[in-house]
Amino acid sequence: MKIAIINGPNLNMLGIREPDIYGSNSYDDLCSNICSYARKKEIEIIFFQSNGEKEIIDFIQDIYSSVDGIIINPAAFTHYSYALHDAIKSVPTPFIEVHISNIHAREGFRNTSVTASACIGSISGFGEDSYIVALDAIYRHISNNI
């Protein structure tokens, strides 16, 4: 099984940006921890991070047919990118939206996700473990729909 993990703006700054909210691990630490977990399940992971909406949309359009599922942390694009919503909806690959922090317990503008409705599910608030929960969920979803 092959899963792409897409991370949006500022996630490359993990460990530096607001560690009280996002933790002290770097982006490389996050990727390494996900890979360690995925290897146990024999899941191949492809990572992509961009601060640009266009680049994320282009990546979705380029990768969707070569992966079994996609986990996406749209970051700030979560709250206003209808273009990203449409890109997710335009491909048949299952997506799970993930967030490190609980977006519903933060500033009001972060409480709404315009991208979640394009995904099969949304997981937030469990720190880095949000990705692990999403990986388990998408694995089961794909396995049950083969």
Catalytic residues: 22, 99
The residues spanned by each domain of the chain are 2-144
Per-residue pLDDT tens digits for 135-145: 999 999 999 98
| Cβ neighbourhood burial of 41 (10 Å; 0-12, 13-18, 19+) | exposed
Query: Which pTM value belongs to this model?
Result: 0.94
CB 123 within 8 A of CB 113: no
Residue 18: predicted pLDDT: 81
CATH of domain 2-144: 3.40.50.9100
Whole-number mean pLDDT of the chain? 94
